[in-house]
């Protein structure tokens, strides 16, 4: 085997090894299920339920939170974010998508400056409460009751894993490199 052929073989094998390195874990990020625990309002009502949050994409899903009646508010069930305000790892506003005029809204703030994380665990519920959105852009709303206690508890439900095919390709690349070395050794003999 001449030098040019050998160099071409080594370059090709090197390229195969580089291309077959495992990719970084899935770009989906971690999704954590957050469950309300011991949430109470100052009018005697309570809130329970859960939602999923993906920090990487700042997305909420599987929202299912129910508030019970108290002396100031009848309570309701929330299954979506309010279409008026954005939500983030430090707070969310649940309500009706579309025109929110005269509809219930639930405002939750959590975890101080850190908020929700990919790790789950307990996170403090820092307020605020439930009320109604009084106009179409919700710039005027009436807070009818405030959160007086409770917390969130998070459990990761989807954790990205390396792609198995990438690990397989790495192994094949290493086998090809060893075969190339064996061929070269035989050609020298």
Residue 4 pLDDT more than 70?
no
Residue 16 has pLDDT above 60, yes or no: no
pLDDT tens digits, 88-129 = 889 988 987 677 788 899 999 988 778 898 889 999 988 889
Mean pLDDT (whole number) for 160-177: 64
Q: What is the mean pLDDT of residues 54-68?
A: 93
**Does pTM top 0.85 for this prediction?**
no
Q: Does the structure show a pLDDT above 90 at 78? A: yes
DSSP string, the chain: --HHHHHHHHHHHHHHHHHTSPPPS-TT--EEEEEEEEEEETTS-EEEEEEEEETTTTEEEEEEEEE---SS----EE-SB-SSS--BTTEEEE--SS--TTEEEEEEEESTTT---SS-EEEEEEEEEEEEE-STT-SSEEEEEEEEEEEEEEEEEE-----HHHHHHHHHHHHHHHHHHHHHHHHH-
Tally of CB atoms within 10 A around 117: 16
């Amino acid at each position: 085997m001449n030098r040019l052929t050998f160099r071409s073989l080594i370059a090709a094998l090197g390229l195969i090894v580089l291309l077959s390195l495992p990719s970084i874990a899935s770009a989906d990020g971690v999704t954590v299920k957050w469950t309300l625990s011991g949430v109470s309002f100052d009018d005697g009502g309570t809130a329970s339920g859960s939602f999923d949050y993906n920090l990487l994409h700042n997305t909420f899903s599987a929202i299912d939170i129910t508030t019970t009646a108290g002396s100031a508010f009848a309570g309701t069930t929330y299954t979506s974010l309010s279409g008026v305000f954005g939500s983030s790892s430090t707070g969310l506003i649940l309500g009706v998508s579309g025109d929110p005029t005269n509809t219930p809204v639930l405002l939750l703030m959590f975890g101080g400056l850190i908020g929700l994380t990919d790790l789950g665990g307990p996170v403090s519920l820092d307020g605020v409460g439930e009320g109604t959105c009084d106009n179409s852009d919700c710039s005027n709303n009436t807070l009818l009751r405030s959160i007086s206690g409770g917390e969130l508890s998070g459990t990761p439900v989807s954790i990205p894993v390396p792609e198995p095919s990438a690990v397989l390709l790495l192994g094949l690349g290493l086998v090809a490199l060893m075969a190339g070395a064996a061929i070269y050794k035989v050609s020298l003999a």
